[in-house]
Structure 1
C-alpha cells in the first residue's frame, strides 16, 4: 500500500497546480488589469452597437465591424495616455 500512496503523490507533483489554483494565481496578479480590460471592451462594444443601431441604421454591416476594429487602437491609445497622465501627475 505505501507504494501506491507514493505514486499518487508523484503524479500530483508532476501535473502541477490545478486549473482553479492557476486561475486564482492569475487573478491575484492581474485582477485589476483584467477588470479594466473587460470594462473597456464592454463599453466599446456597447458604444459601437448603439452607434450602428441608432446613429447609422442604414449603414452596411461592415461599418459595425469597422467600429469594432477601431476599438483596438482606441484601447491602446486610452491606456497609454492614462499611463502618461499618471506619470505627469507623479512629478
Structure 2
C-alpha cells in the first residue's frame, strides 16, 4: 500500500473526528487571538493561553465522553 493510499484510508476512517479537531482548534485560536487583540495582554500570556488549548481540548472531549457514557 502506498503512502497516498494509507493517508486516504486514514482520513476516510477518521473524517468526522478530524473535522471536529480542526473546528475546535480554529475556535480556540480565534477566541484567544480576539481576546488578546482587545486586551493587549503580554506575549507570554498569549502563548500560555494557546498552549492551554491542548489541555482544554482533552478536558472538553473527556467530559463529553463521560457524559455520553452515563446516558
Pairwise CA distance, 1:19: 3.1
Q: In structure 1, what is the equivalent of residue 6 of structure 2?
A: 22
Structure of greater relative contact order (alpha carbons < 8 Å, 6+ residues apart): 2
List runs of 5+ in structure 2 lacking aligned partners.
none
Pairwise CA distance, 1:60: 1.5
Matched residue SS, 2:70: helix
Q: Calculate the TM-score normalised by the size of structure 2.
A: 0.90
Over the aligned positions, Cα root-mean-square deviation in angstroms equals 1.1
List runs of 5+ in structure 1 lacking aligned partners.
1-16
Q: In structure 2, what is the equivalent of residue 79 of structure 1?
A: 61
**Aligned residues between the structures:** 71
Where has structure 1 moved over 2 Å in runs of 4 or more?
A: 17-20
- Structure index of larger Rg: 1
Q: Calculate the TM-score normalised by the size of structure 1.
A: 0.72
- Correspondences of 1:1-80 after superposition (within 5 Å): 17-54=1-38, 56-57=39-40, 59-80=41-62
After superposition, give the CA deviation of every residue in 1:11-48 in whole Å (9 maximum; x if it has no partner).
xxxxxx23331121001111111111111100000011
